[in-house]
Every structure is written in structure tokens, then in C-alpha cells.
Amino acid sequence: MKNKFSTIDSCKHWAAEAGPGYPEAVSRWLDHVRDTDTDIKAFAFIDTEKVKERASLNVGAGRGERLRGVPIGIKNNICVRGALTTCCSEMLREFRPVYDAHVVERLEREGALIVEGLNMDEFAFGSSCETSSFGYTRNPWDISRIPGGSSGGAAAAVASGSIPASLGSDTGGSIRQPAAMCGVVGLKPTYGRVSRYGLIAFASSLDQIGPITRNVSDSALMLEIISGYDKRDSTSVDLEVGKFTENLDRDIKGLRMGVPEEYFTGGISPGVRSRVEEAISVMEGLGAEVTRVSLPHTRYAVSCYYVVGPAEASSNLARFDGAHYGYRSGKPGDTTDMYFNSRDEGFGDESKRRVLLGTYSLSSGYYGKYYLKAQKVRTRITEDFLAAFEKCDCLVTPTTPTTAFGIGEKTRDPLEMYMSDVFTSPANLAGIPAISLPCGTAENDMPVGLQLMAAPFREDTLIKAAHAFERNTEHHKRYPLSGKDPGGQDVEG
């Protein structure tokens, strides 16, 4: 394929040039995806006939133009009407929603071609994209390594050049962590900025949908499109959506950037530390005022997250019992046996682990000791952030303590796997916006992510700072395939 699928603009040009032949161009693009995805498995599946059907309806006709004809990948826990939406679990293997998620409606309104089926950790439970019932996803930079999770397929698809943009969900870092490990941009909006209507819930007080793209400007555009009040989501905030794309190309002279000492711990790898410190120096050279700050309760964040998250997951997954929809065991027995067998056969090991952890922390005698205490710690973590934002405009940290690790390396040690969320989960607990963008490669030639966090609903600050760094560095122009655009052309701009 000579057409580029690395950015939204280049893909819009491809769609426009196709003209009346757009459906045939989409068919060829699907062949391109199959070719590039053979070893990576960013997609759990693609319903090619449905995608072709959408293309044949002259995608975007009578609608907006901002995504006219652009294929957008959808993580498989976001509902697409009539399409398999499985959360990559046996429990929902045959589930087809009868409605579109709010974000899907917004994308289609702007002319996007929706492509469902991006691979993910089962029910978003994971940090490596290894728990999917459809098999694991590989990192395009090194197929012996994981892409991160749980939105591993969304990040890998963008990194490999299959699609220019995707939507993921972020509960404890599931957009930013895979974006960092795959060398792309991942943005988690403020909790309430983007409607969760149509997102199959993991932890309802933490989940947020956001974009994964090749560059910051595409993330800004995607965020503009999917943001906004939705009365169908009781946590959606009725706040005017700004023009995030207008914050591009602004300088950051005088921007106050805080560096939290707790994010530069002994567990961070030397390569990650070096690239992030170099990135901070770049920001300082662009006129940012860099200062050291402290977030003292950060050390409790992972423990807090792995009490609150599983507790809410245990409650949310109680609906999957084999009685109404989803997997039902064929083993004989009474109603209790049916419930037990359906859940035992329908859920994978990590899902069972999270449900058991959550049920335990909510059970009589342990609610106050674990869940209630975790909520108090969560308040302290939020207060730390709000105090820091009185002194600075945004915080700068590593996204992950290490680069992508090997497939199978941590699957037998859940606690070590959970530590992958150490730098990302605090933003979810506090509900603040955060972005990860590439800032170079470590000594093993794997991507390193730079994380920026801002006060609630200050995505404009994040985008301004991120784009300033991006346009003064070359990191976002590097591709897994020898620095070339996977479409076969050199990367421009």
C-alpha cells in the first residue's frame, strides 16, 4: 500500500482521492490490515463485511467533515450497534449491542469509518494484553514483547500503521501505558469529560474513554469530537467543550511544570529515567519553569487502586450470570449450578482473581478495613494533586517504570504485573487528565513514554505542553519499521 494510514490528515487525503471508489479502497485497506496484523494481532477480529457495508453507505454523507472516511479502531469493550462487543471474553463472545456508545455516535457524526474488534485484556483486566480469550497482542517494535494493556490492541494498531487513530479506555493507565510502550500518544481525559455511555464497565468511578494516535494534534482533534455532556451518563459533566486544537503551536514560556520526586524511585529503569530527564530539560529549554514538588501519598496509589478497582469490578460483573445474556454453561444442574458453571467457564483467570479480590474487600467484616480505608486514601491522593496544581500548571513524570517486557515474563506474578500501573493509576484515582507521548527509546531500543498531568478539565494545558515538546523533537516520527511509515513512504512533519 502506498497510501499512509499514520495520521488523520493523510488518511483523509487517501479517502478523498478515492472518491466514488472509496468502498474498493476500503477493501484494499482491509487487505493491508490483514497483512500488517498477522504477527501483531492488534485486532481480535474484524467484521470485514460490516466495515465494507459502512463504507458502501458513502461514509460521512451529510455529516461532518473532520473525520470523513477515516478508519477509527474501537476497543472491544465499547459498544458498536450490531457488532460483536466481547470485552475479549468467552462470557460475551456472542454479544451484539443494540445501540452505539456515545463516542461511536460522535465519531460517525464526523464521518469516521468505525472498525470494531481491537484486542484487549479480558474486561480490561490487565497491563499486558495477554489475558484476551482471542490470544495476546504483540508489540510492533519487538514481537517478543507485550504492547501494554489493557488497550494493547488499540496502541499496537496505531503504532504498526494499520489505522491512524483508535479509542481505548483507561481505568488505571490502560490508554497511557500501552501508548508509552508502543511509542504513540495516549490521552486520558478528566473523569466526566467524555461520556461512558456504551462502555462496558470495569470500575465505574475510574473508567474513562480516550484517544490513541500517532501525534498530539490528532489526539486533540479526537478529544474535541468525543467530549461533551451526555444525559445518558449520570457522571457526564455539563461543561462547554473548548477547541483543543486551538492550543496547538502555542509556546510554553512561563508554564510551571512540577516534577514529583515520588515518580523517580528505585524501581524505574535507567533508560526510562534518562529519557524523561532529557525531556524535562527540553521543556525547560522551551521556557517552562521546572520545579520539584511532592505527592506524598503516591506510594499508596497501587494498593488503593487494587482495592477500589476490583471492588467495583466485582459489582459490575455480577450481571454476567448466564441467565439473561452472555455465556451460559451447557452442564446440567439447578439454577445455582448454572450460575456457578457459567461464570467459571466464561471468565478467565485474571477476571476471577479481580472478582474474588473485590468481593472479599466488600464482604462483611472487611468493608471498613479495606474498601472504606482505600476511599480515604483516594481522597488524600486527590488532595496531593490539587495542592500541587496550586504551585504548577502541570506535572511531568515517566508513564511507566520500564519499557515493554517480554511476553509471559510477568503472567505468573500478578503483583509484579500490577506494578506496571504505579505511575498511571494515581491520575485515575484523582480523576485528572493525563497524556503519554513518546520521548525516545531506552538502551533496548524500546519506546519510553513521557506523562503529563494537569488539573481537572485542563486538557488544554496538557495539549499545549505536549505539542510544544513534540514539535521540538523527533521522537513521534520514529516507526517500528526502520523509521519508515508502514505505508511505504518517509514520514513527514
Domains annotated on the chain, with CATH: 8-298+378-477 (3.90.1300.10)
What pTM, to 2 d.p., does this model score?
A: 0.95
User: Residue 361 — φ and ψ, nearest 5°?
Assistant: -70, -20
Q: What does the pLDDT profile of the chain (493 residues) look like in tens digits?
A: 344 788 999 999 999 999 999 999 999 999 999 988 999 999 999 999 999 999 998 655 557 789 999 999 999 999 999 999 999 999 999 999 999 999 999 999 999 999 999 999 999 999 999 999 999 999 999 999 999 999 999 999 999 999 999 999 999 999 999 999 999 999 999 999 999 999 999 999 999 999 999 999 999 999 999 999 999 999 999 999 989 999 899 999 999 999 999 999 878 999 999 999 999 999 999 999 999 999 999 999 999 999 999 999 999 999 999 888 789 999 988 999 999 999 999 999 999 999 999 999 999 889 999 999 999 999 999 999 999 999 999 999 999 999 999 999 998 888 889 888 999 999 999 999 999 999 999 999 999 999 999 999 999 999 999 999 999 999 999 989 634 444 433 333 3
> What confidence score (pLDDT) does residue 319 get?
93
Catalytic residue among 133, 160, 169, 174: 174
Q: Report, in this order, helix, strand and coil percent for the chain, each rounded to 5.
A: 40, 15, 45
Choose, from 75, 188, 410, 464, the residue flagged as catalytic.
75
- The SS3 assignment for 182 reads helix
At residue 450, the pLDDT reads 98
Say what the pLDDT of residue 485 is: 43
Known catalytic residue at 166: no
Checking phi first, is residue 109 left (phi over 0); if not, alpha (psi -120 to 50) or beta? alpha
The single residue listed with the C-alpha cell 458502501 is 56
Angle at 395 between CA 298 and CA 372, to 5 degrees: 30
The yes-or-no answer on residue 128 being catalytic is no
Respond yes or no: is residue 331 known to be catalytic.
no
Strands 208-213, 165-170: pairing is antiparallel
Q: How far is 90 from 58, CA to CA, in rounded Å?
A: 34
Structure confidence at residue 36 (pLDDT): 87
Q: Which of 89, 14, 468 is nearest to 279 (CA)?
A: 468
The answer to whether the beta carbons of residues 201 and 103 sit under 8 Å apart is no
Going from the C-alpha of 435 to that of each of 121, 454, 465, the distances in angstroms are: 21, 9, 10
Nearest Cα neighbor of 83 from 163, 200, 226 is: 200
The answer to whether 36 and 73 have CB atoms below 8 angstroms apart is no
* CA distances for 231 relative to 46, 149, 192, 223, 249, angstroms: 31, 30, 12, 19, 34
pLDDT of residue 481: 62
Q: Give the burial class of 211: count Cβ atoms within 10 A of its Cβ; 0-12 exposed, 13-18 middle, 19 or more buried.
A: buried
